[in-house]
Amino acid sequence: MTEIVVEKYRSTSKNDWNTFVKQAKNATFLFDRDFMDYHQDSFQDFSLMIYEGEKLLALLPANKVENKLYSHQGLTYGGLILSKKIKFEKVLLVFQSILQFLKENDIETLQLKLIPQIYVTYPADEITYLLFLLKAERVRCDISSAIQLKNPQKIQSNRLEGVKKAKKNGLIIKKESQFSNFWNEILTPNLEQTHNAKPVHSEEEIKLLAEKFPKDIHQFNVYLNEKIVGGATIFETENVAHVQYISANHQKQELGTLDFLFQHLIEKEFKHKNYFDFGTSNEQQGLKLNKGLSYWKECFGARSVAHEFYELKTSNFERLQDIYL
C-alpha cells in the first residue's frame, strides 16, 4: 500500500485544492481558497492536504492557535473534506495520519466543527464514527433552523399576517448586486446598537466575495417608497440556501418587513433547493438560545439541525489501530 502523506497547504497548491473541493461529497464554496483567503491576515492558516502517492485523498481546512488546531475559525462549518469515491478504510488511515502529523508538529489538540448533514451531497459520517472511537469530547453544539423545501410545512398564520401588512404598506423586494444600502443603513447600525458588534464581513469583503462567487452570494432588500427598510444576504450551495445576514429597521413589526421577505425567499426564490437554512440562534458558545428568534424561524416551518464541535488529543491516534474484527 502506498504511504499516506500529510502536507501543509501552500498557495502553489491552490488549483489542486479548489478542484478537489468542487468534487467533494461534503464541501461547499466556503472551502474554496478564494473564499477562505479573504481574511487570511486574521488567522494562521494550517490547512492540510492528504495524499496517497500523487493522489489527493482529503483536505482539512484549519488554522493554528499556539499548540491547538481548529477547523478553520473563519468558516461556519468544517471537518475533513472527502471525495465521493473514498472508502472507510482509507478515511481511517487519512485521519490517523493527520493526528500523527499534528503530534509530530507539536500540536496537542484538534478541534473539529462538523459540517451539518443538510450540506453534504453524499453520506459522509465516517469522521463522526472515528471521533467516537477516539473518545473525542463534544465541546459545543449549536442548533440551526432549516426548512425541508421538498416537503415544507405551512407558514403559520402569525407570519402571514406580517405578509399582509407588508403588502398593504406597499413594500417591494429587490434582488441587488450592490451591498452598500443594506450594510450601511440597516445591518451595521443594528449590530452596533443591539450587540455593540460589527458584521463578520465588512462591506468591502462581502463585495469582493460576491464578485468571486456571483452565483452563490445574493442580496435581497426590502423597500418602502424607495427607502430600504430591511434585507437578507443569502449564501447558496448545492443543497441549501443559507441566510448569512438578516436585519431590518425599527419598523419591522409595524411594516411586516421580514415576514414578507422570507415568504418570498422560501416560496419563490429558493423553492428549488433541498433546504432553506436560517442559521443558528445561539449565544454564549451554544449554551443559550435566543427563544424569540428561534420561534420566529420555526413559524416558517423550520426545525433544528445540529452544528457539533468536537475536541481530542492528537496523541490518541493509536486508538485507531486494530479496530477491525
Q: What is the mean pLDDT of residues 51-75?
A: 96
Q: Which sequence spans correspond to the domains of the chain?
A: 4-143+307-320, 151-273
Q: Is residue 107 pLDDT above 90, yes or no?
A: yes
Q: Is residue 181 pLDDT above 90, yes or no?
A: yes
% pLDDT > 90, the chain: 96
CA distance 248 to 228: 9
Q: What is the mean pLDDT of residues 159-185?
A: 97
Instruction: Please state which architecture CATH assigns to domain 4-143+307-320.
Output: 3-Layer(aba) Sandwich (3.40)
Q: Is residue 2 pLDDT above 80, yes or no?
A: no
Instruction: Please state which architecture CATH assigns to domain 151-273.
Output: 3-Layer(aba) Sandwich (3.40)
pLDDT value of position 82? 98
pLDDT value of position 195? 84
Q: Is residue 234 pLDDT above 70, yes or no?
A: yes
% pLDDT > 70, the chain: 100
- Residue 42 confidence class, pLDDT cut points 50, 70, 90: confident
DSSP codes, 204-251: HHHHHHHHH-TTTEEEEEEEETTEEEEEEEEEE-SSEEEEEEEEE-TT
- Residue 40 confidence class, pLDDT cut points 50, 70, 90: confident
pLDDT value of position 194? 85
- Label the pairing between strands 240-248 and 275-280: parallel
CA distance 105 to 107: 6
Residue in the block written with cell 489538540: 109
pLDDT value of position 235? 98
pLDDT value of position 32? 98
The answer to whether 108 and 66 have CB atoms below 8 angstroms apart is no
Q: What is the mean pLDDT of residues 295-316?
A: 97
Give the CA angle between residues 259, 262, 265 to the nearest 5°.
155
Please state the φ and ψ torsions of residue 96, each to the nearest 5 degrees: -60, -40
By C-alpha distance, which of 99, 116, 112 is closest to 26?
116
Q: What is the mean pLDDT of the chain?
A: 96
Give the CA angle between residues 83, 120, 213 to the nearest 5°.
90
Q: Is residue 39 pLDDT above 90, yes or no?
A: no
Q: What is the mean pLDDT of residues 97-121?
A: 97
Q: Is residue 1 pLDDT above 70, yes or no?
A: no
Q: What is the mean pLDDT of residues 84-106?
A: 97
Q: What is the mean pLDDT of residues 7-28?
A: 98
Same CATH topology for 4-143+307-320 and 151-273: the answer is yes
Q: Is residue 198 pLDDT above 70, yes or no?
A: yes
Q: How far is CA 284 from CA 42, 77, 296, in A?
A: 22, 17, 20
The answer to whether 319 and 133 have CB atoms below 8 angstroms apart is yes
pLDDT value of position 85? 94
Q: How far is CA 130 from CA 113, 133, 139, 257, in A?
A: 14, 5, 16, 45
pLDDT digits (tens, 9 = 90+) for 126-167: 999 999 999 999 999 999 999 999 999 999 999 999 999 999
DSSP codes, 99-166: HHHHHHTT--EEEEEBPPGGG-SS---HHHHHHHHTT-EEEEEEEEEEEETTSPPPPPHHHHHHHHHH
pLDDT value of position 308? 97
Q: What is the mean pLDDT of residues 8-16?
A: 97
Q: Is residue 262 pLDDT above 70, yes or no?
A: yes
Please state the φ and ψ torsions of residue 69, each to the nearest 5 degrees: -110, 135
